[in-house]
Structures are given as structure tokens and as C-alpha cells.
Amino acid sequence: MSQRIRVLVRPKAGILDPQGQAVERALPALGFDGVANVHVGRLVELDVEDPSRVGEMCEKLLANPLIEDYEIVEA
């Protein structure tokens, strides 16, 4: 049996996030006011037989721990 896992990868706090900034600037231009702290990351979905190994997968490949935080969510 495999299990569906979601890995959320985000730029670490304080790291220049020009994608988030671009989205944050674009929203008010479309009339969506009151939006702040926009950050753009990545969602990785995977079916795994051994969910206990996902942390290791994140450290080695799915995220770069130097610049990104990751969060493992069971779908």
C-alpha cells in the first residue's frame, strides 16, 4: 500500500522572494487590496510506500535546506 504525501516547499523567511513580491504587487493592480506577505513556493505530490523516508527525500532532493523550508503533509 502506498500513501499520498504532499510536500510544501517555501523560500526561507528573510530570503529574497521576487516571485512573491511580483504577485503581491500584481494583486492590488487588479483591485485586490489588503494582501500582504505573499510568498511563492512549490507543491510536490507523491505516492510513497514508506512515508518515513520522505524527510530524507526532502533533505537530499525535493528542497534545498539552505534556502527553502519544507513541510510534509499526509494527503
54 C-beta neighbours (distance < 10 Å), count:
20
When binding is defined by CB under 8 A, the residue of 22, 26, 48, 73 that contacts other proteins is 22
Residue 29 CA to residue 11 CA, distance in Å, equals 24
**Does the footprint of other proteins cover residue 15 (CB under 8 A)?**
yes
Classify the phi-psi angles of 42: left when phi > 0, otherwise alpha if psi is within -120 to 50, otherwise beta: beta
**Does the footprint of other proteins cover residue 66 (CB under 8 A)?**
yes
Q: How far is the CB of 22 from other proteins (least distance, A)?
A: 6
Contacting positions for other proteins (CB under 8 A): 15-16, 18-19, 22, 61-62, 64, 66-67
